[in-house]
Structure 1
Amino acid sequence: MAADEHEAWLGVDLGTQSVRALLVTGDGTVLGSGSAPLGGRRDGVRHEQEPGQWWEALCAASRNALASSRGVRVGGLAVCGTSGTVLLTDGAGRPMSPALMYDDGRATAEGARARMAGLGVQDTWALPKALWLTATYGHGRITHQPDLVVSLLTGELPPADSSHALKTGYDLERDAWPAMLPRLGLPDTAIPDVVRPGTLLGEVRASAADATGIPAGTPVIAGMTDGCAAQIASAALRPGSWNSVLGTTLVLKGASPTPVRDPTGVVYNHRAPDGSWLPGGASSVGAGVLTAAFSGADPSAMDALAAAYEPSGAITYPLVSPGERFPFLAPDAAALVLGEPESDADLWASLLQGVAFAERLCLDYLHHLGAPLDGPLTFTGGGARSPYWNQLRADILGRPARVPRQTEPALGMAALAAFGTGATRGLAETAEAMVSVRTTVDPRPERTARFAEPYARLVDELAGRGWLPPPVAAHAHARLDGDTAGS
């Protein structure tokens, strides 16, 4: 390689509102980026996208990302998609149906039928939606969002990666599909082969290179879901490490040498490329409540005012939408407010604190299940752009947190591509080399103690309403005097 040449990897994120591409070197330098918007159709519980949009947007995003990459060798690429998004394709890999997005809610009957057959799936997972699509459009091949894009890059419909296959019912511990899928109405021809993330799927063909600007022959590596991609981008991959993603809703993703067993199904486990486990859960609490309650507000200005209310005069459990999925399963749960905030600033403070209380309860629940929590905690997502909220969360959790500079899923896919193309380092080491920490936020013990009483009141209220199981509430109380690091 000439002195003026570099090697970099391309990460592609097929999001809900856009496709994002990043070209990243092994030390985390972003050489180029690009994005292109995606549309969709929402109507009540219906949420669809036209699969052809993904390719058009990828072509635009990748060309932008590679526009200034002269002299750079693209070592490989990987693609992530939204977890649970699925469509049907025919024998030639052409779409037979629209794509049902991750939160499409039409497959309730199919979800109930799958659970009756003994499968622990939720209604919005890909398996119920695949059953619904088959009944509506006829028999076709179950195809996840990245599968279609990869087929257009390589010219061949690939096996699914096990990360996207998880919500289609794939058993990650047995490395096998459940035997009852044909009895549910999915013939063998509908069910894809599965490979582990990081597996070589093929190479970019010439026609795809012309359309995307990605050099022909570039290796294409099996990706993971967007949540796992964001976890890789946070470098939270060593046992006991956790990434708390605070966006519209709150998602916690961790690393463990063994699966975290949860009889309620609230916590589920992805499989890492090295065979270790990535447990996690997704809450319906999150920063979306701020947008709903304070449309058009300046978050920085409201944060400055909220600092006068620690703790707030009101205690909230700020659900973005009805029903809770993590740290407890309660389809009938609704947002709650205990007490009366005295001002908009106090209400804002109560919402920030309520999200942090939910975050603490998530960690308490994970500890209750025996998950390792003694590694570093990382804050990512849109909420992590608020220094005040980061400090508040660290105070309420009673533990330090790292905030990386760059955390988007496309970065995680670039790291996975680097790992999958024959890197000598493991995925954790590869990601750590690409991820730089912007700051570390340390908790203030006097603040942690100040928030113990309102947190305990919230736990008692959730248990009193029948949403939070009493043993989990008792476990949270027993940990009030410590931090959430798993001691």
Structure 2
Amino acid sequence: MSGWIGIDLGTQSVRALAVTGDGRVLGTASRPLTSHRDGPRHEQDPEQWWRELAAATREALRDGPPGRIEGVAVAATSGTLLLTDAHGRALTPALMYDDRRASADRVNEVGAPVWERLGYRRMQPNWALPKLLWLLGEAPAGARLAHQSDFVNRRLVGHEVATDLSNALKTGVDLIEERWPAEVFDALGVPAEILPAVVRPGTRLGVVDARAAEETGIPAGTPVIAGTTDGCAAQLGAGALLAGSWNSVLGTTLVLKGVTKELIHDPLGVVYSHRAPDGSWLPGGASSTGAGALTRDLPGRDLDALSAQADSRFGAGGRPAGPDLPVTYPLVSRGERFPFAAPEAETFTLGEPADDVERYAAILLGAAFVERLCFDYLDLLGAPVDGEIILTGGATRSAYWTRLRADVLGRPVTLRENAEPALGMAVLAAGHPGGMIRTRAVVDPSGADLREPYLRFVAELERRGWLDPTAAQHARERTAV
């Protein structure tokens, strides 16, 4: 029996998963990672990535694979990078995805035409290219750029490896031409010799060498496949693989990722696209709203109990959770990133919740409205949104919230048995999902009509000057259909 290994290098842990083609888990394990934070700085020790990855894979394979391991792929945090020497040894700590010590002014001044053509328009200070310029200020001769996944992939194969387009996106790779934009990097003073070759996710990088096999337990000769960022890996694990399908991840915040045949250009720059292994595009956006508002606004409350109470009061058989129920715009922190850009945005509630159950339901309803507005905005940009919608993230533990989201979207939503980045990397390593992706349930809308409260919510966002009138009008038009 063949198996594949997916590895997820996250912020707090590294997770390894060995799975068969029909979705049977052969073994899984995780190991913690530590960070060093100081104001805008966030660093990790690259050597710890390797040590804990090796420990996790050894444990995941402790009983030995029942057959051949056909491939391994690694997901990593987007925008995390370091400098290495010519032999792959770390010369600097790793600057993590949210390290903000660098400035993006220079890269945006020089690279604006390329960033505009790629659809995201501007880089943020925490993106990898600004951080690379910061590191190059004191870089020794012979230094090389390595993303998080590049560092461990080199250890796995024992020689220099190419980087993948997904992890290279925030370093400024030209996703259309699939190359580094030499004209931009020359102007920025980035030497061409520090840059790795670039390949699509899913490309074979080499095979596990004898030394790595001894340390990790992965059999020598196992193909090592170029991976993706953790967000794209989660999308692959969720099974959002066809044009028009979307993975909506609702946890602390809300993230949408989908599939399109053509590159989406967003005039606001809140939606940007990765490149898929087959050459199609993976657009997505991240909102600052989500379940994090629950722990902030209802500290110490039993959220499972509140979900059950809200379900009893407003769910099937109860009064609809909408026409006269308060609704909260559930920002986790000040400022919104998607489906509009409004640094000054802050949370608000329309109506007065009578108690904690209504306060809880108002947050859930507001998050569902933001999710709906995200799809309305994607439709305005020309992205197909008529395919399968797969819900993942912590919010799916609430059956009430899941039904509410289906009602607001007005269409069925799919829940998976397992949708995690490590599984997505196993899917990528295999080159196809096979039977790895399993559906747990499909939830149909109950028929509750929530259009009127949704339009009130949209109107309030427009009135406050956060939502563009064109986007608001498009939401109204789609709701009237």
TM (norm. structure 1) is 0.92
* Corresponding residue for residue 177 of structure 1: 180
Q: 8 Å contact 1:10–1:77 — kept in the other structure?
A: yes
Deviates more, 1:16-25 or 1:300-309: 300-309
Give me the whole-angstrom Cα distance separating, in 1, the residues matched to 2:437 and 2:241.
Answer: 12
- Indicate whether 1:72 and 2:85 are aligned: no
Counterpart in the other structure of 2:192: 188
- Please tell me the residue identity of whatever aligns with 2:237: A
Shift in alpha-carbon separation, 1:379–1:50, aligned structure 2, 3 A: same
Q: Which moved more, 1:201-210 or 1:137-146?
A: 137-146
Q: Secondary structure at the match of 2:49?
A: helix
Which SS does the other structure have where 1:431 is aligned?
coil
SS in 2 for 1:351: helix
CA contact 1:235–1:432 (8 Å) conserved in 2: no
Deviation of the 1:335 alpha carbon? 2.1
For 1:96 and 1:10, locate their aligned partners in 2 and report how far apart those are by CA, in whole Å: 29
The answer as to 2:456 corresponding to 1:453 is no
2:106 — aligned with what? 113
CA RMSD of aligned residues (A): 1.6
Deviates further, 296-305 or 235-244: 296-305
Deviation at 1:177, TM superposition (A): 1.6
* Equivalent of residue 257 in structure 2, options 253, 256, 264: 253
Deviation at 1:326, TM superposition (A): 1.1
Aligned match for 2:133, one of 131, 134, 149: 131
The CA deviation at 1:338 is 2.6
**Which deviations, in whole Å up to 9, do the C-alpha atoms of 1:392-414 show, x marking residues without a partner?**
11111111100000001000100
Instruction: Report the 3-state secondary structure (helix = DSSP H, G, I; strand = E; otherwise coil) of the residue aligned with 1:337.
Output: strand
Query: Is the contact between residue 148 and residue 157 of structure 1 (CA under 8 Å) also seen in structure 2?
Result: no
Letter paired with 2:383: A
In structure 2, how many angstroms separate the alpha carbons of the residues matched to 1:397 and 1:78? 34
Q: Give the deviation of 1:33 after TM superposition.
A: 0.4
1:426-462 CA distances to partner (integer Å, 9 max, x unpaired)? xxxx2252101000000122x2x2x222221221222
Where 1:479 maps in the other structure, the secondary structure is helix
**Residues 375 and 38 of structure 1: CA distance in aligned 2, closer, same or farther (over 3 Å):** same
Deviation at 1:14, TM superposition (A): 0.3
User: d(CA) in 2 for partners of 1:295 and 1:69?
Assistant: 45
Contact persistence 1:49–1:99 (CA under 8 A): yes
Query: Structure 2: how far apart are the matches of 1:219 and 1:412?
Result: 16
Offset at 1:138?
A: 5.3
Counterpart of 2:27, as a letter, is G
State the alpha-carbon separation in 2 of the partners of residues 181 and 68 from structure 1.
48
Q: In the alignment, what sits opposite 1:425?
A: none
- SS of 1:72 mapped into structure 2: coil
Return the alpha-carbon distance in structure 2 between the equivalents of residues 346 and 264 of structure 1.
34
Q: Give the TM-score of the pair, scaled to structure 2.
A: 0.93
Give secondary structure in 2 for the equivalent of 1:286.
Answer: coil
Tell me which residue corresponds to 1:371: 383
User: Structure 1 CA distance, aligned partners of 2:101 and 2:456?
Assistant: 37
Note if contact 2:310-2:400 (Cα within 8 Å) is conserved in structure 1. Answer: no
1:443 is matched with 445
Contact kept? 1:314, 1:339, Cα under 8 Å: yes
Cα distance in 2, alignment partners of residues 137 and 320 from structure 1: 38
1:70 Cα deviation after fit: 4.2
Q: Which contiguous aligned blocks of 4+ residues in structure 1 show a shift greater than 4 angstroms?
A: 136-139
Does 2:33 align with 1:38? yes
Corresponding residue for residue 344 of structure 2: 332
Partner in structure 1 of residue 153 of structure 2: 150
Distance across 1 between alignment mates of 2:381 and 2:35: 38
Equivalent of 1:409 in 397, 421, 429: 421
- Cα deviation code 1:21-47 (max 9, x no counterpart): 000111111111010011112333322
Q: Could you tell me whether the CA contact under 8 Å between 2:207 and 2:224 is conserved in 1?
A: yes
Give the residue type in structure 2 aligned to 1:356. Answer: A
Which position in structure 2 is the counterpart of 1:467?
A: 466
Cα distance change of structure 1 residues 58 and 474 upon mapping to structure 2, 3 Å threshold? same
Aligned-partner Cα distance in 1 for 2:300–2:26? 34
Letter in 2 for 1:113: R
1:21 aligned to 2:16? yes
1:187-266 to structure 2, matched below 5 A, reads: 187-266=191-270
How far the C-alpha of 1:299 sits from its partner, in A, is 2.3
Give distance in 2, aligned partners of 1:71 and 1:243.
32
Question: Quick one: distance in 2 between partners of 1:98 and 1:15?
Answer: 16
Match of 2:164 among 148, 156, 161: 161
Look up the SS of the partner of 2:145 in the other structure: strand
**3-state SS of the aligned residue for 2:2?**
strand
Partner of residue 95, structure 1: 90
Q: Residue by residue, what CA displacement relative to the aligned partner does 1:246-284 show, whole Å, maximum 9, x if unpaired?
A: 122111111111112212221111111111111111111
Residue correspondences, number: 462
Q: 1: CA distance between counterparts of 2:456 and 2:306?
A: 25
Q: Spell out, residue by residue over 1:282-328, the C-alpha distance to the aligned partner (whole angstroms, 9 max, x if none).
A: 11112222222334432221112223351374322211122221111
Structure 1 residues not aligned, in runs of 5+? 1-5, 420-429, 483-487
Distance 1:433 1:339, change over 3 A: same
* Contact 2:21/2:434 (<8 A) preserved: no
- Give the counterpart letter for 1:116 in structure 2: E
For 1:389-404, list aligned pairs within 5 A.
389-404=401-416
